[in-house]
């Protein structure tokens, strides 16, 4: 179950980028995007997102 960013909720604050221990999150066009191949399903990014834009699939 990889993390998924709900683009409509993402504010582009980048909190999740620094929270990811495996650098699976990058910013694209001002929104966070998770690389599902790199994501290790730890959920660290979910709690860091102030907009609650990240969910575990």
**Taking the alpha carbons of 38, 25, 21, 55 in that order, is the dihedral positive or negative?**
negative
Q: What angle do CA 15, 29, 8 make, to 5 degrees?
A: 70
Q: What angle do CA 54, 55, 57 make, to 5 degrees?
A: 135
> Which domains can be identified in the chain, with CATH numbers?
3-56 (3.30.70.20)
pLDDT digits (tens, 9 = 90+) for 40-52: 999 999 999 999 9
* Residues linked to residue 5 through DSSP beta bridges, in sequence order: 54
DSSP letter assigned to residue 49? -
The confidence score (pLDDT) of residue 25 equals 98
Read off the tokens for 31. 């929104």
The confidence score (pLDDT) of residue 43 equals 97
The confidence score (pLDDT) of residue 41 equals 96
pLDDT digits (tens, 9 = 90+) for 1-57: 899 999 999 999 999 999 999 999 999 999 999 999 999 999 999 999 999 999 998
The confidence score (pLDDT) of residue 1 equals 82
């Amino acid at each position: 179950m990889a993390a998924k960013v709900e683009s409509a909720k993402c504010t582009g604050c980048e909190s999740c980028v620094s929270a990811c221990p495996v650098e699976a999150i990058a910013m694209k066009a001002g929104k966070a995007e998770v690389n599902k191949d790199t994501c290790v399903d730890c959920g660290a990014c979910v709690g860091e997102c102030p907009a609650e834009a990240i969910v575990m699939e």
